[in-house]
Amino acid sequence: MRVVGIERENAMKRLKSCLLASAGLVILAATLSLTAPGRAFAQRVGEDCVRICDTAASPLHVIVRGVTRVTGDVTINNQSAIATTVTGPVQVTTPRGESLSVIPKMKVEDVFQKQVSLTLAPGESYKVQTIQVTSPKLLEIRYASGTALMQPWLSPTTFSVKIVVIPPTNIPITFPLPLEDLGFDEEAPFKGREYQVGGSQLQIFAEPGSTVLVQFQRSNNSQYESTLELALSGVQHEL
C-alpha cells in the first residue's frame, strides 16, 4: 500500500508540472504576439496618457503635414516636380561619356538689339547700314522684323531686304528676309504699299571682327521715296 501511495504522489507532481509549463507557454505566446515586428502597442501610463512604442527596424508610419526635418536617406516617389530651396554647394554627377547640358543665365550685357532705318530717296536704288562686331563674343541674330513702304507700289519682286555677314577671313554670307504684302493704307493710299519684312526666327552668326550689313535695294530708279524700318535682336555668346 505504501508503494501505491508513493506512485500516486509522483503522478500528481508530474501533472502539476505539466500544467505549470502549459500556462507558461500560453503567456509567452501572448507576449510575443503583442511585440511582433511591425506592430506598435499602447501602454497605459496614466489616466490621460498613452505611450506609443516602436523600433528602429520597424518605425511607426506617419503622414507629415507642414514642414519637417528628415535625417538620413529618403526615397521620394512623385509624378510632378517638388519645390525645394537649396543652400550651399551642389554636386552633380553624370555617367561616363555623357555631358551635362545646362542653360546659362542671360545677362543684360549679352542682349543684342539694333534698330535699322533706311530711306531710298528718289533716284536711289541701294542703301546699306553697317554693324561692326567688335565684342570678343560671338553675335547671334535671332530675329529681324519690320516694314517697308514702297512707292509707286512696287511688288516684292522689284525690291529686297538682306542681311549679309562678312567674316574677317571668309567670303560674305547672304540671308534674304521674307516679304509679305500688307496692301494699301485705306486712309492714305497715296503713301504707297506696305510690306512685312522678316518676322520668322533666324540663326545668323557673326564672329568677332565680322561686319554685318543690312541691305535695302530696289530694281529701278524710282522717282519716289521708299523706306525700311527693321528691328534686329539676338544674343552675344562667350567663346
Domain segments of the chain: what residues?
110-237
Global confidence as pTM: 0.57
Q: Report the CATH fold assignment for 110-237.
A: Jelly Rolls (2.60.120)
pLDDT per position as a tens digit, 111-153: 999 999 999 998 899 999 999 998 788 999 999 999 998 876 5
Length of the chain: 239
Question: What pLDDT shows up at residue 234?
Answer: 95
pLDDT per position as a tens digit, 156-214: 668 999 999 999 988 999 999 999 998 876 666 667 888 999 999 999 999 999 999 99
